[in-house]
Amino acid sequence: MPVLITTNIIRNILCKCLFLGKMANLPPRKVTSASKSKQDASPLQILLQMGFRRQRALKALAATGNRSVQLASDWLLTHVSDSNIDADDPREYIFYASPTGPLLSQLLEFWDKSKATCGWNGAHNFLPHITLVSFFKAPDDTSLNLAKAVRQVVENVGDPPKCTLKLEPYVSHNFMGLFISEEHAEYLKKIAVQYVKQVSSVLGVMVDTYEHLDALGTCFPWCAMAQEKNLKSSINLEAHVKSLHITLAYHFEESSYEDLKSLVEEMQPVEHSSWELRLYSRDPRFANHQVYKVTQGYSPQASDELELVLGDYIYIEEKEFDISPDGWVHGTSWLTGLNGYLPAVYTRRTAETDAWTLHKAVSLGNNCSDCKSESGSNTDSEMAATYPHEDAADLAYKKSEETYQEWDKYWSEVMNSRSDSILTITQGLPMNWELSKAAEEMKNNITNGTSKSRRWVFALRHGERVDLTYGPWVPHCFENDTYVRKDLNLPLKLAHRAGGKGGYVKDTPLTRLGWFQAQLVGEGMRMAGVSIKHVYASPALRCVETAQGFLDGLRADPSVKIKVEPGLFEFKNWHMPKGIDFMTPIELCKAGLNVDMTYKPYVEMDASAETMDEFFKRGEVAMQAAVNDTEKDGGNVIFIGHAITLDQMVGALHRLRDDMEDVQPYEIGRNLLKVPYCALGAMRGKPWDVVSPPCPPSINSSSGRFDWRILIK
């Protein structure tokens, strides 16, 4: 009662103050560090919480364009053996105006014709561009502000002239290019000068005095010494304000002159073109190297050889090809920073800019609303497809002869002869089960999952997601909060959710292809004669939809429902900058997903940050509890989650063994980049062993072929 009296007294005092027109001063609130919102943590703070050193974290954020915590942590994990990871060598930045749309297509077509006709020349090293500010070095902790300065420059200078852009061809015996018409050239010069001013402010440097900064007729270097960083050398910023142009060809053989001249004369540059301002950076160690893209994978056979991963880029000095007696050259991997010898025939030369980092791209002429890279937002939708399993351009061409041979018996014996179950074929090959288990026992127990000794447990990554396919799709697909399907691969419709379209920014759905990928896995399991009784899915929408697509392909009984388990969600800190927003079970059910409304999760997950150990622990708790609790009922189990879920399953179930001595510690980066969409991992118990899945993997242009054997510890 005294508490109630005190409360009423305080309420009356406040009411009197308001009545008299006076606002009572609020007492200061004592905020503990524990009560502060962890969602306000910066990407750098999150990486530091994950245990990375500050210098390494800054280097990773700069190297990945400050696009996301996840991309930066992936970079750190893949560069863990890079001898240069702790070197204090700031990146080099360059500022471009780059054409887009029809003009870009026209220029790229010219590039292809000139390479086919006359071979490689200097222009092929870069994407079509106009250089506005030459290479300059800057500390890693300034990379985000350097990117933000691009937008500020356009806001200060304004939109480009409305008149048609005219490009004037120029041909000589050592250079060919397109020069920009005067009015647009003046605009780009102002952009260049303004960016130099902006960067000097960003870097917080003492700049030498230049009284005539508006004299656009000369190039000028700005030399200064960074006070806070105590850089040993000055930062040189050079605004290009003379003869702005797009280079078409240079450093070409004299014998190629006539052919190149003819190609230039044939080209009629489009006048109505779109442009972007782009800020790139590169590793200065490889400024004088050629860049080659890996076209065929290679596993090292000797300690001094370099592993080749499809889609990776290799830095190679030109002299390597001159001194090589056998076609093997020495190179450095863009993906890992490791170096060694490699077969040059497994690579193809490409533009140097392919291995650069894009920090910002702002479209000109539309108030900067069309930004392809928002360096400050750190959302998953902005993660570039720079790693092998997301590289849609090349994965379809991967050589997979060994994998095809492994499954050849499936197609010939099961599909054609129909002589036996796939399981008695595949399970006897890679794991040599004949030596440890009788074939008759396998045939009796393997398909129905009722045997307590050899139950199946699967882990499946979700299918293709909308945001990584289309980038920032929500602003373009919602009109007055109403979803409009603008591409055939986008969802037919989107369900109502409490967070509205903002919820779909944080929690992406599957593409139509993603649904089909999930159905294919279910179909493969059905054709193999394997049933699933227990389905657990991460609360991420893409995972629940994958579970539904899988069940559709499996033609499972409606009684097999999806248990939404928060313990299966990926590392929360990757999502802290944008927040976490899941659909409720009721919303999922209304969306047509067969969710178990009575299921009580093993792990209750909040929106606070977590350590890596806490992440692994909640996944382990959920998986082990699910396997133990379903043992009495029998039936096979599947966990549907993220790329890390497959490794997580292996670690969690190995910890159910009696012999814990051989159990390996959890590793988040071991296979993260090798798990494509809808990759399927499988284990059998007991004892818990990693085995071949009962159906073959799939491959398409945006998803690599998955090799289940990487899960074997």
Summarize pLDDT for 592-621 with one digit per residue, the tens: 999 999 999 999 988 788 888 899 999 999
Neighbouring CB atoms inside 10 A of 273's CB total 17
Instruction: Tell if the pTM clears 0.85, that is, is over it.
Output: no
Specify the residue for token string 């007055």.
Answer: 480
Which pLDDT belongs to residue 608? 82
Which pLDDT belongs to residue 669? 61
CA distance 378 to 70: 9
Summarize pLDDT for 274-310 with one digit per residue, the tens: 889 999 999 999 999 999 999 888 999 999 999 998 8
Residue spans of the chain under pLDDT 50: 1-24, 31-39, 205-234, 366-404, 418-423, 425-452
**CB of 49 within 8 A of CB of 609?**
yes
Dihedral sign for Cα 239, 244, 245, 251, please: negative
β-strands 478-479, 689-691 pairing: unpaired
Which pLDDT belongs to residue 235? 61
Cα–Cα distances in angstroms (integers) from residue 160 to residues 127, 133, 185, 350, 365, in the given order:
22, 18, 10, 32, 6
Q: Distance from CA of residue 539 to its chain's centroid?
A: 20
Strands of 245-250's sheet in order across: 167-171, 175-180, 245-250
CA dihedral 693, 694, 696, 697 (to 10 degrees): -40
Which pLDDT belongs to residue 661? 60
Active-site residue numbers?
Answer: 461-462, 642
- Nearest residue to 93 (alpha-carbon basis) of 152, 143, 130, 145: 143
Angle, in degrees to the nearest 10, between helices 54-63 and 143-157: 40
- What's the residue count for the chain? 713
Residues 6+ apart with CB under 8 A from 211: none
CA distance 564 to 596: 8
CA distance 675 to 672: 6
Q: Which amino acid belongs to residue 164?
A: T
**CB of 612 within 8 A of CB of 50?**
yes
Angle, in degrees to the nearest 10, between helices 512-528 and 541-554: 40
